[in-house]
């Protein structure tokens, strides 16, 4: 695989930005998403006339712990490979480019601008040692360095790998897994908080973290993710 900084990571065209304009236009088109879980809503002629407040079936039937949720892209080709390279192949330099992609997606910049505090989803100590960095923290620092705090939202102990787990298994894996550091409670109470993560699948981790922040007194909680799986992949 070509790895020159001036080569597009998707089409390998050179010279180029890490993601060339043609690939961004082709693969990062905005789509109508559920405002509380960021799932892509059904396409079709009627979708063009849906109100922005329209929700997916799951969020209509079950209240979300998040006040809002936004995603830059769907977790499909080519973003699956780009995120894997960023996350698992020790290429945190991609973080700046991926954060730039997020910043320019609809609704993400307003969510970041209105937030008092931006919190990366934390990794367990074992995952952090394995990976060497927290990909959510890298994204958050590039998105809003002045609002990002790495040690407000914490994660307990260890948990099983989420890859391949069902929705119910994911919920069990993260039950009571998050808490707010005691010394940071005053910084959270009464504030608008954004949580940043790379991929949202079932939403189990984001939802459980949101419950911890709500218990700590956060008044408005938004999930901001780089990529969102689609309903058929997320078990929703």
Q: Using one digit for the tens of pLDDT, what is the confidence trace for 51-68? A: 556 899 999 999 899 999
CA distances from 186 to 72, 156, 191, 198, 236 (A): 31, 21, 9, 27, 35
For residue 185, the model assigns a pLDDT of 98
Answer whether residue 42 shows pLDDT above 90: no
pLDDT score for 91:
81
pLDDT-derived band at 2 (thresholds 50, 70, 90) equals very low
User: Do residues 1 and 34 touch, judged by C-beta distance below 8 A?
Assistant: no
Q: Using one digit for the tens of pLDDT, what is the confidence trace for 91-135?
A: 878 999 999 999 999 899 999 999 999 999 999 988 898 889 999
Cis ω before 229 (30° cut-off from 0): no
Whether the per-residue pLDDT at 147 is higher than 60: the answer is: yes
8 A C-beta contact, residue 71 and residue 226:
yes
Cβ contacts of 133 within 8 Å, gap of 6 or more: 92
Token pair recorded at residue 147: 């609002």
- Contact 167/200 with Cβ under 8 angstroms? no
N-term to C-term CA, the chain: 35
Q: Which of 22, 26, 14, 57 is nearest to 39 (CA)?
A: 57
Q: Exposed/middle/buried for 49, CB within 10 Å: 0-12, 13-18, 19+?
A: exposed
**Strand 153-155 to strand 178-180: parallel, antiparallel, or no bridges (unpaired)?**
antiparallel
Q: Which two tokens stand for residue 211?
A: 């419950």
Looking at residue 165, its pLDDT comes to 54
- HSE-CB of 110 using CA atoms within 13 angstroms: 5
What string of DSSP letters covers 143-212?
H-TTTB-TTSEEE-S-----TT--HHHHHHHTTT-EEE-GGGHHHHTT-EEEEEEEEESSSHHHHHHHHH
State the pLDDT confidence band at 38, using cuts at 50, 70 and 90: very high
Check residues 123 and 234 and name the one with the higher pLDDT. Answer: 123
Give the burial class of 95: count Cβ atoms within 10 A of its Cβ; 0-12 exposed, 13-18 middle, 19 or more buried. buried
Q: Which CATH architecture has domain 31-234?
A: 3-Layer(aba) Sandwich (3.40)
Residues 6+ apart with CB under 8 A from 93: none
> What average pLDDT score do residues 217-231 get?
95
pTM of the model as a whole: 0.87
Q: Which two tokens stand for residue 136?
A: 């959510």
């Amino acid at each position: 695989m070509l790895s020159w900084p001036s080569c597009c990571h998707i089409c390998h065209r050179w010279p180029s930005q890490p993601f060339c304009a043609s690939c961004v236009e082709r693969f990062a088109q905005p789509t109508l998403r559920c405002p509380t879980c960021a799932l892509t809503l059904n396409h079709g002629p009627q979708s063009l006339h849906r109100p922005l407040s329209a929700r997916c079936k799951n969020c209509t039937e079950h209240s979300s712990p998040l006040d809002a949720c936004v995603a830059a892209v769907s977790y499909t080709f080519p973003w699956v490979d780009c995120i894997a390279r960023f996350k698992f192949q020790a290429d945190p330099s991609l973080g700046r480019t991926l954060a730039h992609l997020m910043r320019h997606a609809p609704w993400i910049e307003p969510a970041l601008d209105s937030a008092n505090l931006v919190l990366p989803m934390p990794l367990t100590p074992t995952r952090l040692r394995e990976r060497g960095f927290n990909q959510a923290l890298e994204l958050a620092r590039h998105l809003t360095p002045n609002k990002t705090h790495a040690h407000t939202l914490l994660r307990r102990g260890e948990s099983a790998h989420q890859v391949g787990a069902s929705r119910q298994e994911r919920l069990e894996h993260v039950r009571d897994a998050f808490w707010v550091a005691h010394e940071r409670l005053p910084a959270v109470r009464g504030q608008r908080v954004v949580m940043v993560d790379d991929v949202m699948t079932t939403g189990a981790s984001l939802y459980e973290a949101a419950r911890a922040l709500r218990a700590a007194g956060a008044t408005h909680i938004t999930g901001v993710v780089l990529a969102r799986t689609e309903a058929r992949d997320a078990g929703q």
